[in-house]
Amino acid sequence: LRQYAQYQKMLQHQELLQTSELLSGHFTQERLQYGLYGLYPKCRNYMDVIVVLLGMTGHGIIVSMLNTHQGLLGDKLCEKIWPFIRDMFAPWLVPYSMQNLKENMASWIQQLADDRSILLPWIPADGNFAQKVINVFYECVTFIIHTLPASSSILSYIWQWYVTCYAHTSVKDHILTPIHKTFVNFPWHNFWPSVIDVEFMLRVVDQYLPESHSFLGHIFISV
């Protein structure tokens, strides 16, 4: 994927950004319309192709951003890259809040999920498919770290995104376990927590979230 991103000539910068937005918009809509159990039941037969497409687009955007914004500081580049990566993977990986997204969901999902505070992104039976998407997300983020070694802001984005999306009592172990297992491999020893990052840490500590506490402990020791 890294080689492809560095040498591909087919897609220009704007086309890569539009591809990312198209993937994000399409699968977000699919999830809101049909995704009571996430996207995986509907897309199961196509997951290998979708994973490659997500990986190619993510890696392509990273290289294209570097080439388009030469001379821009690493932190500023991360600021531009992260929203595209985050939004492209969100429909596959992020629990959806019923409170925030209920109006956009299909009425049948609203009725069946009426007693839930969140809709989880996958069921235990689809864990293997979800792991493939988590792995390619991890590869995209490590590619950012590899290409922008002087910038640690991507780890701040990951941490804040993790707390916002996963540090909730309604998020089950079959979601948290693969996320933690993969996310502990990020180079947290390079993480320089900002005041906002510390506030997010306190948000985790203030709740009864044993799994998230263990993950935070790993980060804390690394830092």
**3-state per-residue secondary structure call for the chain:** CHHHHHHCCCCCHHHHHHHHHHHHHHHHHHHHHHCECECHHHHHHHHHHHHHHHHHHHHHHHHHHHHHCCCCCHHHHHHHHHHHHHHHHHHHHCCEEHHHHHHHCCHHHHHHCCCCCEECCCCHHHHHHHHHHHHHHHHHHHHHHHHCCCCCHHHHHHHHHHHHHHCCCCCCHHHHHHHHHHHCCCCHHHCCCCHHHHHHHHHHHCCCCHHHHHHHHHHHHHC
Q: Predicted confidence band at 73 (pLDDT cuts at 50, 70, 90)? A: confident
Report the chain's mean pLDDT, rounded to a whole number.
91
**pLDDT of amino acid 205:** 95
Compute the half-sphere exposure of residue 17: CA atoms within 13 Å on the CB side of its CA: 10
For residue 71, which phi and psi values (nearest 5 degrees)? 95, -15
C-alpha to C-alpha distance for 108 and 68, rounded to whole angstroms: 44
Digit-coded pLDDT (tens) for 107-120: 877 787 766 778 99
Digit-coded pLDDT (tens) for 9-39: 667 888 999 999 999 999 999 999 988 899 9
**pLDDT of amino acid 149:** 86
Cα 96 to the center of its chain, rounded Å: 13
CB 193 within 8 A of CB 156: yes
Residue 2 has pLDDT above 70, yes or no: no
